[in-house]
Structure 1
Amino acid sequence: MAGSPWSRSPEYNAAPRRPGLQDQRSSTLVDPIETFDDFLPEALRRRSPAPLVDIGANLTHASFARDLEAVLARARAANVTTLILTGTDREHAEQAVELARRLPGLYATAGVHPHDASRWDAALERAMGELHRQPEVVAVGECGLDFNRNFSTPAEQERAFEAQLGLAVESGKPLFLHERDAGRRMREMLHAWRDDLTAAVVHCFTADRATLHGYLDLDLHIGLTGWLCDERRGHHLRELVGEIPLARLMVETDCPYLLPRHLPAKLKGRRHEPALLPWIVREIAHWRGIAELELARATTTTARAFFRLPADQTQHDAQPEEQ
C-alpha cells in the first residue's frame, strides 16, 4: 500500500471509511475540559522532545466531530504543533480548508482518493483546481493508485490520478500520494511527470524494499505511520527504515486509523489521534538507531520545507527534554 489502507481489521479502525459514503459531521464541539484529561490514559501521555508535524491527520472524520478541540489540545500538550489535514474528496477537502482557516497550526490537502476515482469528472476537476488555489491547501492529494481492493477500476484510478498530476504541475504544489499494490504502475506514471512536479510524498508507506528504492530513485519523500509498530505485519519496515535518507522522511498518524499496537495502555474506542505521534517517532528512532530528539527535529524540518510552511516559533522556544 503505501497510503491509508481503508480495509483494516476491526480492532484497528475507529470507523472504517466506505467508498461512496460521506462522513456525517456534527457542528457542535464539547467543552475540551470535559475530554482533555480523561480520553488518554496517563500512561499514553507522551511529549515529544521537539515540535512535530503530523503530515497525515484525517480530522474531518466523523469520529472527531464531538471532541475536536480536546483532540487539538492533547496534540499541543504532546508537542505536535502542526497538522496537515488530509482531503480525500471534495467534501472532506473543503471541511479541512475550513478548519485550517479558523484554527492555528492546521493546513489542508485537497485531492480524490483512488477509491473514489470513479467520481472524477470535469466539474470535480474544476473544484479541485479552485481548492488548490487556496492558501490553506499545501498539497495535491490524497491521490494515487490502489489495486488492492479496486473500489474504482484501475482505468478509472489512472484517469483521475493523471488529471491530478496535471493539477499538481499547474498549482506548483507538492503531491500527497496513496499507493497500495500498485507500485510499478505508480512509478511509471510518476516517472513520466517527474521533471514537471515540484515534490511528492508517498504517505503511509508499507511496501517492500524494491518499491521503496524505486520511489527514492524518483526523489520522492516517504511518510511513516504506526504500521511500523504492528508486530504482525510491520517487521519488514523495521528493516527498511534505516534505508530512508533522514532528509526524505516524514511522520504521520493517519488518524483515526492505524492505532499503534505497541502502546503501553488500552485506549477506549481505539481511535488514533495526533497526540500519539510521539510514540511512533520513538519507535522509528529506535529502529534507525538514533535519538528521538534527532528524528523529531529532522522530520519537522523536512515537513516544513516540503509543505512550504511558515516558521514555527514553537521550534525556537521549545526546550528539548531529556531522552
Structure 2
Amino acid sequence: MWVVETHCHLDFPQFAEDLDAVLERARQAGVLYMVTIGTSLESSRRAVELAHRYENVYAAVGVHPHDAEKVNEATLTELEELGQDEKVVAVGEVGLDFYRNMSPRQIQERVFREFIRLAKRLNKPLVLHTRDATKEVLKILEEEGAPQKRGVFHCWASSVKNAKRAVELGFHISFAGNITFKNAEQLRQKAAGIGLQHLMVETDAPFLAPEPHRGKRCEPAYVVLVARKLAEIFGVPYDEVARVTTRNAVKLFGLPEVQNG
C-alpha cells in the first residue's frame, strides 16, 4: 500500500549529501509521492527545482510566518510566478506562529491574508502553519473566505473543537511524527476525536522524527510510522489508513491517481 508524504523540506541542508538515498528509502518504504514545502522565496525556488528533478516529488511555495516581515510585493509577485508551475501543488508553508513571534503579529496576519488571496488566484490549496494561533488562523480564513481548493493544517496540535471548525471550512488535518512520542497521549486522543476520514500524514522532515528515531534526522520514509500509529489509534488495518490518507492527499493536491488496493 502506498502513502503520500504531504509535508517535508527536502531542500534543507540536512539532505544535501544523500538526497537520492533518502528518496530511494522512501520509495522502498511505500511512499509514492512527496510534497516538499517552501519556507522562504529561496526555499520555494529550490522546492520547485527538486520537483522537476524527481518525478515523484511535488512542491509548495510560500514563506513561513517566522519570516513574514521579509515579504514584500516583489516576493509575492515571484511566488505567484513560481506557483503557476505544473509541479507546484499548493501555497505554503504559510499561516501564523504566535509561539515564537519572530515576526510581529500584525505583519504575520497581513501577510497571511495576502497568501490566502494568492492561493485563490492560483486556484491551489493552502498548507497552513498554526502554532499557538489556530483560532486566529480560522478567524482570518472565515473573514477572507477559504480558497476553492481549501488546504491542510499541518502538524496538528490544537483541540478537537478547532479541528471540527477547520473541517467545516473544508480543510484537512495532518499529523506528524510527534504523534508517536511516548508523552503524546493527548495528541493521540485528539486524532481519535477528529476522525480518520479528514486526515493526512506527514513527517515535517528533517524535523520531528517519530519513535524509534526520535532525536535523529527525520526523513520521508518515516511517514509510514505515522500512518501505523494512526492505524493503532483508530483500531483499523494499516492499509485502511494508507488508503484514506492517500486518497485525501491525491484529491487535495491534484496528484496522479494511485492504485491502492
Report the aligned-residue RMSD: 1.5
Pick from 132, 149, 155 the counterpart of residue 83 of structure 2: 132
Q: Which amino acid aligns with 2:201?
A: V
Are 2:248 and 1:302 aligned?
yes
Is contact 1:84-1:107 (8 Å) kept?
yes
Is contact 1:203-1:224 (8 Å) kept?
yes
SS in 2 for 1:134: coil
| Corresponding residue of 1:244 | 194
| Corresponding residue of 1:53 | 4
Give the C-alpha shift of residue 220 in structure 1: 1.2
| Corresponding residue of 2:204 | 254
Over 3 Å counting, the alpha-carbon distance change for 1:196 and 1:61 in structure 2 is: closer
Q: Which amino acid aligns with 1:271?
A: R
| Corresponding residue of 1:161 | 112
Give the C-alpha shift of residue 196 in structure 1: 4.6
Are 2:231 and 1:281 aligned?
no
Are 2:57 and 1:111 aligned?
no
Alignment of 1:258-273 (within 5 A): 258-260=208-210, 262-263=211-212, 270-273=216-219
Q: Distance in 2 between matches of 1:208 and 1:58?
A: 26
Is contact 2:39-2:64 (8 Å) kept?
yes
Give the C-alpha shift of residue 213 in structure 1: 2.1
Q: Which runs of 4+ in 1 moved over 4 A?
A: none
* Structure with higher RCO (Cα < 8 A, 6+ apart): 1
Q: Structure 1 unaligned runs (5+)?
A: 1-49
Q: Which amino acid aligns with 1:258?
A: L
Is contact 1:144-1:161 (8 Å) kept?
yes
Q: Which amino acid aligns with 2:45?
A: E
Is contact 1:55-1:84 (8 Å) kept?
yes
| Corresponding residue of 1:121 | 72
Pick from 137, 145, 154 the counterpart of residue 186 of structure 1: 137
Q: TM-score, with normalisation over the residues of structure 2?
A: 0.96
Q: Distance in 1 between matches of 2:220 and 2:59?
A: 15
How many aligned positions are there? 261
Structure whose alpha-carbon radius of gyration is higher: 1
Q: Distance in 1 between matches of 2:159 and 2:178?
A: 13
SS in 2 for 1:146: coil
Alignment of 1:208-247 (within 5 A): 208-232=159-183, 234-247=184-197
Identical counterparts, % of pairs: 39
